[in-house]
Amino acid sequence: MDLVISWAVLSSCVALVFIYMTLWFAASLLFRRADIADIAWGLGFITIAVWLLLRAGAPGTVRQYVMAVLVTVWGLRLAWHVARRNLRPGHGEDPRYAAWRKDWGRWFTVRSYLQVFLLQGLFMLAVATPILVSGSLDAGGLGVFEVLGALTWCVGFVFEALGDAQLARFLKAPENRGHVMDRGLWSWTRHPNYFGEATMWWGLAVTCLGAPGGWLAFVGPVTITWSLLKVSGIPMLEASWAGKPEWEDYKARTSAFLPLPPRKA
């Protein structure tokens, strides 16, 4: 079995991500905001994709350019969305990070570096497997898998971007404060943005299927989908709403992840 991700690509990306996350950690100390790690998330994948494209040298492969463009569009939109939400005037540190700052006490600096920034960097490398596979291949034209993967990515991008926009518009209305968003895409899935993010990574992995051993790229979407479904995505977010009548009614009629027609109450 061929090693699809070359050692040179893997080692250079490990070093790159380590330096990248360490710099963001330093920024978090400067601004006393550990929640900037959420902004670093999307921009980190752009950094990896662009680095591998530059490392390959001109002209690069079509697959690498497709990968870099799609990742850049996704990463910039996500980083801008998170920054606009978290860094708006009068908005303090994200409640999750503020709670950790309080709970961890004097160990917060060390634990935030290890558990927030470096651990996220490790997770980033796992999710970025499609980018690493693409960056290790010497050839790759515009074939059926590249087209199919790009189209799948587009579906995911629409779900994430439109879902975020619909939620932001809903939350702006004072009368909606404390209520559950159950309109638009949110009437078909409780987490259209999470579904969209996972779908985009499945699409990026599909673009690698035309290459021998390209199946390894699916480590990325499997990792992000598992995390959203079982770890830091749906479970963490829904825990804060559990037991509230409006939420329980919404939960009973709406799919958790896959978009499906609403069930009758």
Predicted confidence (pLDDT) per residue in 103-145, tens digit: 999 999 999 999 999 999 999 999 999 999 988 876 666 789 9
pLDDT tens for residues 10-30?
Answer: 999 999 999 999 999 999 999
pLDDT at 1: 35
Contact 43, 36 (CB under 8 A): no
pLDDT (mean) for 203-215: 89
Confidence of residue 55 (pLDDT cuts 50, 70, 90): confident
Look up the pTM and report it.
0.91
Contact 56, 138 (CB under 8 A): no
Q: b vs e for 49-81, b when ≥16 Cβ sit within 10 Å of the residue's Cβ?
A: bebbbeebeeebbebbbbbbebbbbbbeebbeb
What is the rounded distance in angstroms from the CA atom of residue 265 to the CA atom of residue 261?
12
Question: Which amino acid, 100?
Answer: W
pLDDT at 137: 74
pLDDT at 3 over 80: no
What is the rounded distance in angstroms from the CA atom of residue 17 to the CA atom of residue 11?
10
pLDDT at 46: 97
- The phi and psi torsions of 189 (rounded to 5 degrees) equal -150, 140
Residue 83 C-beta-side C-alpha neighbours within 13 Å: 11
